[in-house]
Structure 1
Amino acid sequence: MSWDLSFMFDDLLPALLVGLQYTVLSTVLGYLIALLLGLLIAVVRRVRVVGPVAHGIMEFIRTTPLLIQLVFVFTLVPPTVTPLTVGVVVLGVHYAAYTAEVYRSGIEGVAKGQWEAARALSLPLRRTWGAIVLPQAIRKVIPALGNYLIAMFKDTPLLFAIGVTEMLMMAQRVGQPAGRVMEAYTLVGIMFLLVSIPSAILIRRLERRYAAV
């Protein structure tokens, strides 16, 4: 099999760079949803009545495939909702089920004496969480949260199933008519590596930095 380098760099690469923009955009927006929603769920789970319900919902989300969730939600929403919007929301909610567990472990890692000191000082609940518990808990789980950012980035090709023009769709759209699918998929893999490897190195540094915290 011969490789057409001119096709790869003249025709394929510009299209994949457009797809990379959608890939990065869906990852960043979905990750923000996962961080905020996961934190909210982790806090709500400590409420006696609501906690078990939230836990059950998160367990259901974690035990069903992301691809099925994407297709299911996409078939339910009105046609006016764009595939990118569906992809971002589903990615965010799916990974919120995982980040909630990360936050929970961080919250449970806060020393019991911190809670007792806050009660002894009669601090309001909001201040106890905002000034004492969450700063300590989040600092401990930063590396784990970073790992889910990379995992979400690698899951974005699943958005192909609902029509989001991310890198995999652009590779197939450009490479298949030209009979150059192998070059297209290879270049997609290289571009994922170029983003994932530096991110993984950064997360490893964060992990070493906060390991003793």
Structure 2
Amino acid sequence: MFWDFQWTFEVLPDLLRGLGVTIQVTVVGYLIALILGLLIAIVRRIPIFGSVLHAVMEFIRTTPLIIQLVFVFLLAPSTVSGLTVGIIVIGVHYSAYTAEVYRSGIEGVAKGQWEAARALSLPGRRTWGAIVLPQAIRKVIPALGNYLIAMFKDTPLLLAIGVTELLTEAQRVGSASFRIVEAYTAVGLLFLLVSVPSAILIRRLERRYAAV
């Protein structure tokens, strides 16, 4: 038979376990990218750090993620798992992109808002926390959401460092039973099952915040 439904249902728990790892990498890595990207965007406004951080971020953006994964994995201590390396590297990699998104949002805050904060003698922490960031982040939520989907689709690259995520699990069970078509098709369907609802949510966010 071209398609073995019984085999597909038998290996589905294995594939779902791999999907769980994929989602874990995506969620934790995305949180790292959001937090680190915001810190980078703020620190880059300090002249003494701006040019150095810009160079580092450009290096990260212009080198392949898979090379970064393998390089860090080979240099990491043996006690650090491939999963940990994968989460950290993918989070730092995407922080280089989220930092640019935050930067555009911060620069989009009207100059008068900054001047009003200075006129009221507001401390820097309150200026950023109560005036600048609420406006900047609100404007860039849809763009940040797009990187969540991009990160989810990049998780199969963790195969290079031995992380058993969804694609690796499919490759294992498919090769063992010579049912590659079923295994890879199931992977595609599971990816769609997660990414399509995420894309719909992001589109709704775009419509909601388009006029902000």
Q: Which residue of 1 aligns with 2:31?
A: 32
Q: Which residue of 2 aligns with 1:7?
A: 7
Gaps of 5+ in 2: none
- The one-letter code of the counterpart of 1:125 is G
- The one-letter code of the counterpart of 1:155 is D
1:93 aligned to 2:75?
no
- The one-letter code of the counterpart of 2:59 is F
Identity percentage of aligned residues? 76
Structure 1 residue 176: deviation in Å?
A: 0.3
> CA RMSD, aligned part only?
0.6
* Distance in 2, Cα, partners of 1:101 & 1:5: 46
* Distance in 2, Cα, partners of 1:80 & 1:19: 22
Structure 1 residue 177: deviation in Å?
A: 1.2
- TM score, norm. by length of structure 1: 0.99
Secondary structure at the aligned position of 1:46 is classed as coil
* Distance in 1, Cα, partners of 2:181 & 2:89: 30
Structure 1 residue 182: deviation in Å?
A: 1.2
Q: Which residue of 2 aligns with 1:72?
A: 71
Q: Trace 1:160-171 onto structure 2 (pairs within 5 A).
A: 160-171=159-170
* Distance in 1, Cα, partners of 2:193 & 2:128: 38
Moved >4 Å (runs of 4+): none
* Distance in 2, Cα, partners of 1:117 & 1:49: 25
Secondary structure at the aligned position of 1:49 is classed as helix
* Distance in 1, Cα, partners of 2:12 & 2:160: 22
Q: Trace 1:103-122 onto structure 2 (pairs within 5 A).
A: 103-122=102-121
The total of aligned residue pairs comes to 212
* Distance in 2, Cα, partners of 1:57 & 1:66: 14
* Distance in 2, Cα, partners of 1:157 & 1:47: 37
Structure 1 residue 199: deviation in Å?
A: 0.4
- TM score, norm. by length of structure 2: 0.99
* Distance in 2, Cα, partners of 1:100 & 1:69: 18
1:201 aligned to 2:200?
yes
